[in-house]
Amino acid sequence: MLNIPTDLLRTLVTVVDLRSFTKAAHSLGVSQPAVSAQVKRLQFLLGHELLDKSAPGVSLTSRGHEVVTAARRMLAINDEILRATGGVFGAETLRVGFSGDFAGMGIAPALARFRARRPHVPFSVNVTNFEHMLRDLKNGELDLAVTVAKSQPAIQARHLWLDQAVWVRSAATQINPHGPVPLVSFGEDCECRQLALEALNRVGRECDFVFASPGIASLEAAVVVGLGVMVLPRSRVAMTSLAVWDDAPLPPLPDLHCGIFLHEGDIGAELAELADEIAAVLRPQLRVADAAEPARAAGS
């Protein structure tokens, strides 16, 4: 009977988690050609292509999704045996996804506190959009997602709360009442950007995408000097030097459904702890000590 070496499975999972052969090689302490060779060997043993070569970056085929899901279970059992016997093992990387609307807004200190308490638990963080995060959670390619959405997602959340989308300005902000609205945003992966577009379309206003960046510091600077306005969750504005424009000559914006979602299945203590640490930052009224009952917090 054919046996699949666990090192080949771990290499494939690492490539998928980090979305890069180069980063996987660095994480595993081997060369990039070695990583490529191990993935090719695994595909040869299984008789199937696991990576979709027609898609950009690292993307799995349908068979690849099945293999990665099963590989995670096998590696978890492997690591459990090592724990039980006192063997040496490497902790599995926690994969975290953030909506652009939350990127850089007090998240780094929360991650730093978690790392200080759990120095041996690695994690990787990526900024992506809501649809991609839900897909990756479902496929087992993401462990934790911090999202902003226009409506409440159908999946169970560990933390779920409402926040109001607001127009944000600075003292230098000026808008031509008859011209396009200059918009500053996190880019296409930003739910607040989509809300702004929909609101402006409803009243027949056009907009110009004058500045986009994945970092809040550069976006804040753009608004400060008067390049344009942006939309943020109301609770996030206090983390900047900007001001809510409550009487803006712009259309009203709806509430946002903000949530922290975990991959279905067994939730380890480390993953739950990280989710609660992030919630304590994004929801100032929530203390980490109160996060043990997420169902009570959900929807509040």
* pLDDT on residue 86: 60
Residues 6+ apart with CB under 8 A from 80: none
User: Which H helix or E strand runs over 28?
Assistant: helix 21-28
Pairing status of strand 159-169 against strand 255-262: antiparallel
Give the confidence band of 6 by pLDDT, cuts at 50, 70, 90. confident
Residues 104-119, mean pLDDT to the nearest whole number:
78
Pairing status of strand 181-185 against strand 159-169: unpaired
- φ/ψ of residue 180, rounded to 5: -60, 145
Residue type, 48: H
Residue 244 forms beta bridges with which residues? 168
Mean pLDDT over each residue of the chain, to the nearest integer: 82
Residue 81 has pLDDT above 50, yes or no: yes
User: CA-to-CA distance for 133 and 128, rounded, in angstroms?
Assistant: 7
Contact 291, 279 (CB under 8 A): yes
Dihedral of alpha carbons 257, 127, 117, 281, sign? negative
Pairing status of strand 159-169 against strand 243-244: antiparallel
Residue 30: strand, helix, or coil = coil
Computed on alpha carbons and rounded to an integer, the radius of gyration of the chain in Å comes to: 22
Residue 97 has pLDDT above 50, yes or no: yes
Domains of the chain as residue ranges with CATH: 1-90 (1.10.10.10), 98-300 (3.40.190.290)
Contact 192, 233 (CB under 8 A): yes
pLDDT digits (tens, 9 = 90+) for 228-260: 999 998 888 887 899 999 999 999 999 988 889
User: Which H helix or E strand runs over 39?
Assistant: helix 32-46
Residue 162: strand, helix, or coil = strand
Q: What is the pTM for the complete model shown?
A: 0.61
Residues 71-95, mean pLDDT to the nearest whole number:
74
Place of tokens 């380890």: 268
Give the confidence band of 265 by pLDDT, cuts at 50, 70, 90. low
